[in-house]
Each structure stands twice: as C-alpha cells, then as structure tokens.
Structure 1
C-alpha cells in the first residue's frame, strides 16, 4: 500500500483537533472529509478509518512512540508511523518520517501487548473500574469493544420491507445480510456510505445497531398506545417504536435538548412517522402534565456509553471517573421522576448503552427499593455483552406498574 501525502496530512490534522483541542472525532471527520472534492470513497475511507484507529489505540501508540500529550505535530506523525509500521505499510521517505525506528516499534508492541491497559489502550482508572465491576469478564469485554463495529441498518417497516431495502441497496452495489433474531436488521458486508442511497432518501431505513433495536422490541408498544420516550435525543428509538405501532397511537418524545428534537422531527418526516410529537423539557411542568398518562414509558438513560466504545473510541479519553458518579445520580433521578408518567398497569423500560452493573442492574434494584419504585415489578432484564452478541453493549429492564 502506497501512502499519499494529502491523505496522511488530512489524518494528522484531524488527530490534532481530536487530541489537542478535544473536539469530537465524528464532527472533526465530517469537516475533514469535505476538504477536497477530488477524494473518492477509498480516500475518504482511508482518512476516517486511520483516524479512528489511531484514536482507538492512542495510549498504546503513544507509549510505543514515546510521546506525551499535548502532542506536537512531529509527535502526531510518530503516532501515524507506529500505525503504519504495525500494519506492514512501508514508511515513505518524507522529512516527517525521518529516523522512524521500524524494528523498535515492533519490539515495543510485543512488549507492551503483555500489559492489558496498554494492549487494550485504556486509561488506568477505567481498567481498574472495569475489573472491579466485571471481574474476569472485563478482559473479554474490553477486547470486544476494541473491535471495529459493523454497520447495521434498521428497516423502516412504515415504508419498506427488508427484501425491498436489500434489493435496492444491492442495485447500488451495497451488499447486506439479514441477522437471525433481529427481524428488521440488515448488516453491511462491507462499509459504505449508505446516506447517499435512494433507499435512505426515501426513508426506507435508519442506521441503528442491532442491540439498540432490542430496546423498542422489549417495550413492545402496540398500535393505539400512548408512549413517552423520555430521553428521546435525535429519536432513533422513537422512530423504531412508530414503526412497531404502525403509525397508530401517540409517541411523545421528550428531551432537554431542543436541537436534538428538531433533528428527530426532520428524521420523522423522512421516515413517514406521523404519530410522534416532540416536547422540550424546559420546565418541570412538562413531566407533571404526563403523570399517570402513558401506557408505556422508555427511559433510554444518559450513561458512560462504555457499551458503544467501538463506535466512539474517543469517548474513553474524554470520560472522567467523577462523571460516573454524577451520571449514576442522574439515572436515579430520572427513574424516580419519569416513572411517574406510567399509568397504573402500564410498563416502562430502563435502558443504557453501558456494560457496568452500577449503571444497570444496581440502578434498577435501588429504584425498586425506593419509595417511588414500590409500585413496580421487574418483569424481564436483558444484558447484552459485546463479546457474546458481536454488537454494542446494552442493558434493558422491563418494569410493570401495579394496576391499582
């Protein structure tokens, strides 16, 4: 493989913004990839995948390259040289790569691979936390979370069938396969930009990981129900529920961020989902008005996001230990407050994209012990581990409110 100067420089520029200016990787890449109209899909893939790779393995590569943050420009080229050497790519004869110690890189890699925090490229505190919460399972899970995530689509059954989407994408040279146990999911055989396809423009599918698709299925809203999606965000799960409800009944999508709800409205229009109403939580009245009114409530709670590190590798560098303590308090508050919206006999799902028991099973147990949770009973819980499913790590619990 021959390295092209403009692609390598674009990658290094992206890394500079992500590591030194603390910008979000996906937003940085979105801008970088617009830089040169002459870049084809292969060029863009190289920049995106290489950048994400170096972000994912930052600690390991920095240790091998013997560089520390904040990274100078020459340090970023050294990280790139480590990436290329470990992939057997010949380092070009450019001034930026002068004196790259190829043999030493390989030796250091072998040496550091024996130590988990370097091998899996994670901060010390996260390694300690994972071990304390998951024991020996942590080793397996963090390994799985460093693998590249598949691109999974969820077919929007309001507009198309699975076979229609499959055939339409095939006509545009994108090959997909169905996944056992996930009735509306399609997996891409090879990565591709699905957002430019005719099927996407028509609202025939959304990009949504297979594990995330289990959440709406567990809540199982029926046509005619009144459903509250209490932390709707940009609405991936609201859209799924609209399809499950065949556009009948009502979904009230709540969030504290109005800009996310605007994005949901835009997506709902493309999806042909007409039963979603958005409401920004700008005062406590918004929730109060809905007390005891919903057949089903979804609390897709904010969390550490440790289950989706494959998708967001920069999150492990942005996460801080104190954030976990703060978010656990928020999760309890949301359970106490939003559970009030469930009417007698109704159901609620509490879900996170974390694999930590302290954010999951322990939160549900604490809620059921609390005064606010006394009327609820745990019907079912599902722990989705990346190492077992091959998809994102998720937790979901179905709770039933007593009829009286």
Structure 2
C-alpha cells in the first residue's frame, strides 16, 4: 500500500473536487486497515500539505517559471506533496521525497512531466536557500503568512487589529492540532462517572475547566471503538461550543428553537439542560444534516427534540411569538476554527466578510420574531471578525428596539466581564467563538 499515492489522491480531491480534507482523510482511514505508523504518516502528508498550501505554492514559484494554475492538476499536486516533504519533513530523506514523486509522475503523467517533476524537486533539494522567506524586518506580512501558512489578506486584517506578537501567537495556535473534547451526556451519567468509565476504556482524560460537562482527551484508542460512545454517554464537542447552551440557559418545560441546529451538538446540549422535557425544535436548511441531528439525539436518549427543514429566516411564519428561547448559531466564515479544517484557510475570501453579515442579520431577524415577550435570544458564531459578530448585533438592535443586550459573559459557567463573549485560540486555547445574549421586552 503506497501511502504517498493515497495522500496524493486526497490532496488532488481537495484541490480539484473541493473535497474537505478532514472528511476525505477519515473516509480513507475507515476504508483501510492501516498500521498506526501508516495512519500517522498519511495524516501528516495530507494535513501538512493542505495546511501549507499557499507557502508550498510560493516555494514552487522559486523553482518553476509558471504559476501553479498553469501546471496540470495531478502534476501540480505531486509537486506540492514532494515539496512539503523536502521543506517540512526532516525525517524524510530528500532522495525518498524526490524518487517517490517521480514514481507518482510516471503513474499519472507522461515522460515530459516525469522529467519536469524530477528537475524541479532535484533543484529544490540541492538549493533550498533559493526559497528562503523574507525576514520580519524585510516584509512582516509575507514573513508571517509564509512561516505560519495563512493567506496574506487574513494576516493583514489581524495586523490592523493587534500587534505583531499577538498575531504570531494566533497563527501558531491555528497550526496546532486541537484537543479532543467531549461533552458528558448528563441525562445518562455524571462527568465523574464518565471519567472513570473512559479510563477503563483506555482513554487518558481530564475534566475541562471551562464547562461542568466537558472532558479533555489526551490519549485514546479509535473513537468509534469506545462502547461509551455507542451507549450515548457523551458527544464530541469543543469547549467553546459547549458554552453557548449555558448562555441560552434553557429551563425544563420550555419551548426552545435552535435556528441553525444541525448536526446537533448544541441542540442536544440544550435538551440535556432542559432535562429532556418541554419542546426543542432543531432547524436546518438541509435534511441530510438533520438526519445526523436525529441520530445523535437517538444515541443520547433525547426524546424532546424534533427537527424541521426550513430557512431559519422564515421561522416566524410558523412560530411568531411562541418560543421562550431562540439560539441562532449563524453560518459564518469559520475563522475561529481554522485549526480543525486545514483546507479552510485557503477557501476563505475577504469578500465573504461583506456578504455573510447580510445572511446572518436576515436569520437573526427572522428567528427573533419567534420569541414571546421576555424571551431570550442568543447569537453565536465560530468566527473572530467583528463584521460577523458585534456589528451584526448592533445592526439588529438598531432595527429591533424591542430587544436589549444582556451580559453573555456573566452567564458562563466561569463568569467573565463583558456584554459579548469573544474567545480566541491563542488567548483561551479553545476554538475562536463569539456569543451574545439579548432579551425581548
């Protein structure tokens, strides 16, 4: 089994078919019985190459006289994979990186492209100084973007908001693998009992400092092998995401709407806090995502949850003035969770930050009309950008004076100051998340 060839297939699908690297990799691993060593190497090749995409293309430009877009896609990705090994994997001998790339070129190219791949990689192996980055003093923006594998437009945005040391720490944190965190299903087990159970199943884990249900996993066997997962004793969920339901603070017996609910992490958390009583409506545009929500609810033993396929912006047509609480976990740029999706940083554009707030405000406005007087509205995103966060809330309040801002920070399990909650990977060591809370008069 040629691990490099399998890695190339995934990288090519990410490039040409817009596949998601994390999903494509998981599917490949599930279809094959890899050794631990092969699984780790495949993961390193795929995630590393995709995460360093922009930097690798810049390196390629030092040795190739045409832009990557002008190179046939499979050959382009063979070069990316080879250059990643040459420049970023010190344990791979340069000869192995070059020879294996040439073999792949023979399989997917013709004699001319084989010579091309061989010449480019041999030149890069002999003269790596040619691809030396500019220093901080010479070009701070390009230095940070190339060193830490982020698009220049995004680094530039953050440099306008923060000093260079803070930006560098954020970029570094975005490149670290995120910790796996679990949310205890308190309908079935306590966190203390789940910690004992997980230890018996070979998981090294500790309690989260952020939430009373959270557990941080440090070492564990394959997640799917855990009987505690099959029995519905926990849900995989990031710590910052777990905070949202606590800010909503749903009460048993209430009618609660999760307006952008799939695939159900926050919806099932809300249900647990409601003690599986009342009515919880989880809404999404896509039925296949709602199917995952229903499956999660079934596994967790939740019966108060129902799903509805519709546009959240039109919810008030059916539920005007009926809900006690509404959560809008809005579609967003996802710039707070770049460490979880290695390809996403290269898919984002600055123009999205102009288009998304219109959608976010539309959903927020439609969902807000579902609330009774005295009802609670919580708006959250997994992004760090003010256009999608505070500015959306300020715009909403300007058109809905019947709502007022409440302190979201005071509702956290470990309260903090501030009307808004904005979490950062480099400051809080969780996913970047924004949470706000409003009340209808």
Question: TM-score if structure 2 supplies the norm length?
Answer: 0.83
- Following TM superposition, the consecutive aligned residue runs of length 4 or more in structure 1 with deviations greater than 6 angstroms are none
Q: Distance in 1 between matches of 2:321 and 2:130?
A: 63
Question: Structure 1 stretch 173-182 or stretch 230-239: which is displaced more?
Answer: 173-182
Q: Does 1:130 align with 2:158?
A: yes
Q: CA deviation at 1:235?
A: 1.0
Equivalent runs, 1:105-144 vs 2, <5 Å: 105=128, 108=131, 111=134, 115-132=143-160, 137-144=166-173
Q: CA deviation at 1:263?
A: 1.1
What is the CA deviation profile of residues 271-317 of structure 1, one whole-angstrom value per residue up to 9, with x for unaligned ones?
00111011111697653221111111100001000000000121121
Match of 1:281 among 297, 306, 310: 310
Matched residue, 1:90: 92
Report the secondary structure of 1:321's partner residue: coil
Match of 1:27 among 2, 23, 34: 23
Match of 1:388 among 427, 430, 435: 427
Question: Structure 1 stretch 276-285 or stretch 389-398: which is displaced more?
Answer: 276-285
Match of 1:45 among 40, 56, 65: 40
Q: CA deviation at 1:232?
A: 0.5
Distance change (3 Å), C-alpha of 1:106 and 1:341: farther
Question: Structure 1 stretch 238-247 or stretch 156-165: which is displaced more?
Answer: 156-165
Contact preservation (8 Å) 1:336, 1:373: no
Q: Does 1:150 align with 2:179?
A: yes
Q: Distance in 2 between matches of 1:164 and 1:357?
A: 40
Q: Does 1:207 align with 2:212?
A: no
Distance change (3 Å), C-alpha of 1:374 and 1:131: farther
Contact preservation (8 Å) 1:350, 1:398: yes
* RMSD of Structure 2 on Structure 1 (CA): 2.4
Contact preservation (8 Å) 1:81, 1:100: no
Matched residue, 1:69: 68
Report the secondary structure of 1:345's partner residue: strand
Question: Structure 1 stretch 192-201 or stretch 82-91: which is displaced more?
Answer: 82-91
Distance change (3 Å), C-alpha of 1:101 and 1:273: same
Q: Distance in 2 between matches of 1:288 and 1:395?
A: 28
Contact preservation (8 Å) 2:315, 2:366: no
Equivalent runs, 1:151-300 vs 2, <5 Å: 151-190=180-219, 192-281=221-310, 286-300=315-329
Contact preservation (8 Å) 1:229, 1:252: yes
Q: Distance in 2 between matches of 1:364 and 1:291?
A: 20
Question: TM-score if structure 1 supplies the norm length?
Answer: 0.90
Q: Distance in 2 between matches of 1:167 and 1:22?
A: 41
Contact preservation (8 Å) 1:64, 1:105: no
Equivalent runs, 1:334-353 vs 2, <5 Å: 334-353=363-382
Q: Does 1:78 align with 2:79?
A: yes
Q: Which has the larger radius of gyration?
A: 2
Report the secondary structure of 2:327's partner residue: strand
Q: CA deviation at 1:31?
A: 3.1
Distance change (3 Å), C-alpha of 1:158 and 1:227: same
Question: Structure 1 stretch 162-171 or stretch 53-62: which is displaced more?
Answer: 162-171
Q: Gaps (5+ residues) in structure 2?
A: 103-117, 409-419
Contact preservation (8 Å) 2:313, 2:364: no
Q: Does 1:397 align with 2:429?
A: no
Q: Distance in 2 between matches of 1:60 and 1:105?
A: 14
Q: CA deviation at 1:121?
A: 2.0
Report the secondary structure of 2:213's partner residue: strand
Q: Distance in 2 between matches of 1:304 and 1:134?
A: 20
Distance change (3 Å), C-alpha of 1:20 and 1:112: farther
Q: CA deviation at 1:167?
A: 2.6
Matched residue, 2:338: 309
Length, aligned pairs only: 396
